[in-house]
């Protein structure tokens, strides 16, 4: 299994191919629906003005996400009262909900990888080639195991979104993923969808 450390270079991303198993070590940031919508509307499309500490958070995110990875994850977190945070569960959430936002967000912040489950669509696949970045599939149903790879929680942004939707800055060691969308236009999800459709068509034709 190939080991990759963040920040990740374009050269490394270009070398990844669909089907390759990888472990990630370093800093990543969690982000789901609320976070993606907020980032796109406030900083990319600028359809809403920054509020409160938005600009300060933006500067921090630009630094943290540059060459790093965003993880579609709504974690279960202990230590909320004391702020001695510890991830109890850290499984991936379904990624396709971020399809309207992902490619634009990755380009704006120069993010090199996105982790989730279920794959993404054509807009994201095109973005993988242009930015470049890769879609990395995490293990569904292994939330407790994946939480054990989180060695430190460095902090959290936008807690007003709620714990699952907040942006957690975490450090991981040997976080396991599989490349299922690469920077060369390869998508394992598209292949499976095509194969499944072929089987379905054959069954319906009987």
Structurally, how many domains does the chain consist of? 1
- Total-model pTM: 0.91
Asked if 191 and 180 count as a contact pair (C-beta separation under 8 A), the reply is no
Chain centre to alpha carbon of residue 40 = 15
d(CA 40, CA 97): 14
Residue 204 confidence (pLDDT): 72
125 close to 132: Cβ distance less than 8 angstroms: no
Q: Are strands 86-89 and 2-5 parallel, antiparallel or unpaired?
A: unpaired
Give me the pLDDT at residue 206, please: 72
In a 10 Å sphere around its CB, with 0-12 CB exposed, 13-18 middle and 19+ buried, how is residue 84 labelled?
A: exposed
pLDDT for the residue 195: 62
Q: Are the beta carbons of 136 and 114 closer than 8 angstroms?
A: yes
pLDDT score at 198:
65
- pLDDT given at position 90: 97
What is the structure's pLDDT at 205?
A: 76
Cβ-defined contacts of 106-110 (< 8 Å, 24+): 106/70, 106/131, 106/133, 107/131, 108/39, 108/43, 108/44, 109/39, 109/61, 109/62, 109/65, 109/66, 110/65, 110/66, 110/67
User: In the prediction, which pLDDT does 201 show?
Assistant: 63
| Residue positions annotated with a catalytic role | 36
Cα dist from 13 to 9, 67, 112, 173, 189, whole Å:
6, 10, 7, 19, 19
Radius of gyration of the chain (CA): 17
Residues in the chain: 206
Q: Which residues constitute the domain of residue 103?
A: 2-204
pLDDT at res. 21: 96
Q: What is the pLDDT of residue 119?
A: 92
The CATH number of the domain where 77 resides is what?
A: 3.20.130.10
Mean pLDDT by 10 residues, the chain (206 residues): 95 96 98 97 95 95 97 97 96 96 97 96 96 96 96 96 97 97 88 61 69
**What is the C-alpha separation between 53 and 160, in angstroms, rounded?**
12
Interstrand relation of 86-89 and 76-78 (parallel, antiparallel or unpaired): antiparallel
């Amino acid at each position: 299994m190939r080991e990759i450390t963040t920040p990740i270079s374009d050269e490394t991303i270009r070398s990844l191919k669909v089907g390759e198993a990888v472990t990630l070590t370093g800093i990543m940031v969690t982000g789901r629906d609320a976070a993606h919508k907020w980032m796109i509307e406030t900083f990319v499309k600028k359809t809403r003005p920054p509020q409160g500490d938005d600009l300060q958070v933006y500067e921090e995110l630009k630094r943290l996400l540059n060459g790093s990875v965003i993880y579609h994850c709504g974690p279960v977190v202990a230590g909320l009262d004391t702020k001695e945070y510890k991830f109890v569960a850290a499984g991936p959430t379904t990624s396709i909900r971020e399809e309207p936002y992902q490619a634009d967000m990755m380009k704006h912040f120069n993010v090199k990888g996105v982790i989730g489950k279920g794959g993404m669509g054509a807009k994201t696949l095109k973005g993988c080639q242009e930015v470049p970045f890769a879609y990395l599939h995490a293990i569904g149903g292994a939330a407790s195991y994946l939480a054990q790879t989180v060695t430190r929680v460095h902090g959290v942004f936008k807690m007003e979104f709620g714990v699952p939707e907040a942006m957690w800055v975490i450090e991981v060691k040997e976080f396991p993923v599989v490349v299922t969308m690469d920077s060369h236009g390869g998508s394992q999800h598209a292949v499976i969808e095509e194969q499944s459709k072929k089987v379905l068509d054959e069954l319906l034709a009987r």
